[in-house]
Amino acid sequence: MDRTYRKNDLVTVTIEDIGTDGEGIGKVDGFTLFVKDAVVGDVAQVRITKAKKQYAYARLEKLLTVSPFRTEPKCPCHRQCGGCQIQALDYKKQLEYKQNKVRNHLIRIGGFEPELIDRVMEPILGMEEPYRYRNKAQYPVGTHRDGRVVTGFYAGRTHNIISNTECYLGVEENREILEILLAHMEEYHIPAYDEETGRGQVRHILIRKGFFTGEIMVCVVLNGKYGEKEYISHQAQLLAKLALIKGMTSVSASINTEKTNVIMGKEIHTLWGSPTIHDVIHVRDMKQTGYPCTGQQLDFAISPLSFYQVNPIQTEKLYSLALEYAGLTGRETVWDLYCGIGTISLFLASGAGQVCGVEIVPQAIEDAKENARRNGIHNARFFVGKAEEVLPAFYEGKQEEVSVSDGNGSEDLRHPDVIVVDPPRKGCDGVCLDTILRMQPSRIVYVSCDSATLARDLRILCDGGYEVKRVRAVDQFAHTVHVETVCLLSNRKSKPDTHVKLSLSMDDYYRIKEEGKNNQ
Ligand code: SAH
């Protein structure tokens, strides 16, 4: 290295790569620079903000040559806002970046051979329209220096609110709803919550829209007992205004008095309309293979506290893939771990003998049971608890359960055909992975929202006797660095896995299902 660099130095650099947080990466004299807001292909003058021995963080000062991959971002706040890290990068290039990110994690963290990954990895499924795709937004509420109540998004890695009611990732209705709520707070002098002091009333505003049904939910997170404080005393006027918005179906308050980063409180009070909204998801046959659980649509009830995929259009692709990878023939016993409101479970149920879903949030499990009833599905059961506790309890016979589809249910549940997991970003708990390995399913379908933890967990499963058969990324989160991945693993000890090639006609499928029923 020829020289070292210090804070505030100005450096000219060519950006050659994109980092895991979306930052541009370039090298000068063997010294690596991580430059926020720089796009791969840019030549830029940058100012060093933090210097280490061999690398430094820097800020974009001046673009000298504009990258051909730069595009005009729609949102004027995209640089300050922590939500979109790569909005200035051309969408095609974003997809390429995400495909590489998953590949690199599998190779570097998972220790898989590049040749294997290149053989099993299919091209990323991108979005047709990369804006206005989110069905859910959670806006923090705070007080501006000038005393106004504001809402918007946190600046990257901080809790400073960037005032913005027009996010182009969310639905158009968000703006009107936020403006009604802010005006109401101004009019009645309702204070925003202050994270430092723990005082004030309104913490967050959650808005969700069912894309298919058009139903809208608003949930205001309050720092106080429902009914006691000023917020509620003028509720009738507020509700009347919200009710006029097309699609408004549910308005509720969530009470969160904890000094925590967790947004929602556990207590929910419906103030107007219904406690849930509904939405419909369709899954399609991705490859016209004639798999049984394709071409269906199901209807889901969603509560304020329940997880529901945020990008409904891409979710249809994600679920279709997960079902295709599960390779069901109508007879299988399937576990769906981290099942949320039972979305994947219920699609699986239509093509399997029986399905058991496990989820930690009790309200989501209530929704899952209601969703099974609504859709007339009788071969799915749901359990509240941690996957790493419920699964071992079944395996070790501590949970007394009888199968819904046949007499030897408990044995089927101990050794299922397929296990689907869809954990949060931190991935699966070690006990959960260990129990999966002891259960020895023929196939594991891993749906992941963090390819680093996916790679770590796949390594454990592969060391335990599984092999990676298929991997495909799905872009659920355009303009952010996040990417969803679906992965199929098969048990090396199982009989040769024929399901990938198996092509059942719909007639075959119904025949097998009927036989299954008659054997009960
Ligand atoms: N498969 C669902 C939900 C996926 S999100 C869907 O597609 O909609 C991950 C879910 O895991 C969330 O619902 C979360 O509440 C749940 N969860 C988090 N930790 C868990 C754990 N240890 N055991 C079971 N569920 C958990």
Q: Could you tell me the pLDDT band of residue 227, with boundaries at 50, 70 and 90? A: low
**Residue 431 beta carbon below 6 angstroms from any ligand 1 atom:** no
**Residue 344 beta carbon below 6 angstroms from any ligand 1 atom:** yes
pTM confidence score: 0.89
- The average pLDDT across 479-499 equals 83
User: How many other CB atoms are there within 10 angstroms of residue 393's CB atom?
Assistant: 15
Compute, in angstroms, the gap from residue 223 CA to the centroid of ligand 1.
26
More confidently predicted of 226 and 159 = 159
Compute, in angstroms, the gap from residue 305 CA to the centroid of ligand 1.
12
Triad 461, 466, 472: Cα angle to 5°: 85
Mutate-to-test residue for ligand 1 from 314, 316, 317, 338, highest number of ligand atoms within 8 A of CB: 338
Q: Could you tell me the pLDDT band of residue 101, with boundaries at 50, 70 and 90? A: very high
- 175, 184, 276: which is closest to 239 by C-alpha? 184
Q: Could you tell me the pLDDT band of residue 332, with boundaries at 50, 70 and 90? A: very high
Q: Could you tell me the pLDDT band of residue 353, with boundaries at 50, 70 and 90? A: very high
Question: Is a pLDDT exceeding 80 seen at residue 285?
Answer: no
Q: Could you tell me the pLDDT band of residue 519, with boundaries at 50, 70 and 90? A: very low
Which residue, judged by its Cα, is nearest atom 16 of ligand 1? 338
Per-residue pLDDT of 199-213, as tens digits, reads 999 999 999 999 999
Which residue, judged by its Cα, is nearest atom 23 of ligand 1? 386
More confidently predicted of 419 and 413 = 419
Compute, in angstroms, the gap from residue 450 CA to the centroid of ligand 1.
13
Question: Is a pLDDT exceeding 50 seen at residue 426?
Answer: yes
Q: Could you tell me the pLDDT band of residue 499, with boundaries at 50, 70 and 90? A: very low
- 94, 86, 96, 93: which is closest to 123 by C-alpha? 96
Q: Could you tell me the pLDDT band of residue 381, with boundaries at 50, 70 and 90? A: very high
> Which pLDDT belongs to residue 518?
45
Q: Are strands 466-474 and 121-125 parallel, antiparallel or unpaired?
A: parallel
Task: Tell which phi-psi region holds residue 22, choosing left (phi > 0), alpha (psi between -120 and 50) or beta.
Answer: left
User: How many other CB atoms are there within 10 angstroms of residue 494's CB atom?
Assistant: 14
CB proximity list for 37: less than 8 A, separation 6 or greater: 23, 24, 59, 60, 79, 88
> Which pLDDT belongs to residue 286?
60
Question: Is a pLDDT exceeding 80 seen at residue 421?
Answer: yes
Catalytically active residues are: 449
> What mean pLDDT is reported for the chain?
89
Q: Could you tell me the pLDDT band of residue 513, with boundaries at 50, 70 and 90? A: very low
Atom of ligand 1 nearest to the CA of 420: 1
Per-residue pLDDT of 230-283, as tens digits, reads 566 678 889 999 999 999 999 999 999 999 999 999 999 999 999 999 999 998
- The average pLDDT across 489-496 equals 81
Compute, in angstroms, the gap from residue 515 CA to the centroid of ligand 1.
33
List, in sequence order, the alpha helices (H) in 89-227: 91-108, 114-120, 173-187
Q: How far is CA 39 from the centre of its chain?
A: 25
Which residue, judged by its Cα, is nearest atom 21 of ligand 1? 386
Q: Which amino acid is at 242?
A: L
Q: Could you tell me the pLDDT band of residue 470, with boundaries at 50, 70 and 90? A: very high
- DSSP 8-state secondary structure symbol assigned to residue 81: B
> Which pLDDT belongs to residue 157?
78
**Residue 364 beta carbon below 6 angstroms from any ligand 1 atom:** yes
Question: Is a pLDDT exceeding 90 seen at residue 502?
Answer: no
Question: Is a pLDDT exceeding 50 seen at residue 503?
Answer: no
User: How many other CB atoms are there within 10 angstroms of residue 120's CB atom?
Assistant: 17
> Which pLDDT belongs to residue 296?
84
Compute, in angstroms, the gap from residue 421 CA to the centroid of ligand 1.
9
Which residue, judged by its Cα, is nearest atom 10 of ligand 1? 338
313 with 284: CB under 8 angstroms? no
> Which pLDDT belongs to residue 109?
96
CB proximity list for 363: less than 8 A, separation 6 or greater: 268, 303, 305, 306
> Which pLDDT belongs to residue 497?
45
Question: Is a pLDDT exceeding 60 seen at residue 389?
Answer: yes
Share of the chain above pLDDT 70, in %: 89
- The average pLDDT across 467-492 equals 97
Atom of ligand 1 nearest to the CA of 358: 24
- The average pLDDT across 60-78 equals 94
Compute, in angstroms, the gap from residue 268 CA to the centroid of ligand 1.
20
> Which pLDDT belongs to residue 409?
62
Q: 């370039």: which residue's tokens?
A: 26
Q: Residue 169 and residue 173: Cα distance in Å, rounded? A: 12
Question: Is a pLDDT exceeding 90 seen at residue 143?
Answer: yes
Atom of ligand 1 nearest to the CA of 318: 7
Q: Could you tell me the pLDDT band of residue 226, with boundaries at 50, 70 and 90? A: low
Atom of ligand 1 nearest to the CA of 345: 1
Share of the chain above pLDDT 90, in %: 78
CB proximity list for 487: less than 8 A, separation 6 or greater: 325, 445, 446, 447, 448, 454, 458, 468, 470, 471, 472
**Residue 307 beta carbon below 6 angstroms from any ligand 1 atom:** yes
Compute, in angstroms, the gap from residue 440 CA to the centroid of ligand 1.
22
More confidently predicted of 377 and 81 = 377
Atom of ligand 1 nearest to the CA of 336: 1
**Residue 386 beta carbon below 6 angstroms from any ligand 1 atom:** yes
